[in-house]
Amino acid sequence: MAYLASDNTAPTHPKVMQALNDANDGISPAYGADAHSQLFLERARQVFASRDLLAFPVFNGSASNGLALAHLLRPHEAVICHEMSHINNDECGLPEAFSGSKLIGLAGANGKLEPQAVEAFIIKSREHAPHSANPRIISVTQSSELGTIYQPQELWPSVEWLKNTGFIYIWMGRGLPMPWPPLGLVLMI
């Protein structure tokens, strides 16, 4: 059995450590105004083909998830995710603590959310409003905690419906090379 531990348990790669050491030379402006931060932002804008992209590097994925959700959600709102997803099971409540919001884990085969189940849950929760957390974000992790990969056709049929309801799709994890829908509602974390 393979043990796929968090990247936080491994040492820093020597090339990364050398780059950090090289960058730690002399005085620079703070809070993202330094040359290295500007270079990072330009590269991120090239990779995602967006001149308006804003990127904020943080220490690890948990911090990234928690800070992004805190920025996007109000305390009465919720994130729909798979019941076995990383943010639901492996971050010790950090996303909920940072955002004050609720994570709602839905079942789905092979560790994947199913569009029909998501839509049914959203309709049901809206019928129960204002007595339940209002879903605002759908979080998809690529690859899933079970190692399965979402194919675009598995989720994108519901994206147009979500766009019309004001939802935000969040694409988390290691799936940057995967295609995503060009609808302006996807946030990569």
Closest CA relative to residue 90, chosen from 172, 33, 153: 172
pLDDT at 3: 54
CATH 3.40.640.10 at 58-188, yes or no: yes
* Predicted structure pTM score: 0.76
- DSSP states of 135-165: EEEEEEEES-TTS----HHHHGGGHHHHHHH
Altogether, the residues listed in the chain come to a count of 189
90-102 pLDDT per residue, tens: 888 898 999 899 9
Q: Indicate the domain borders of the chain.
A: 11-50, 58-188
Mean pLDDT on 141-147: 83
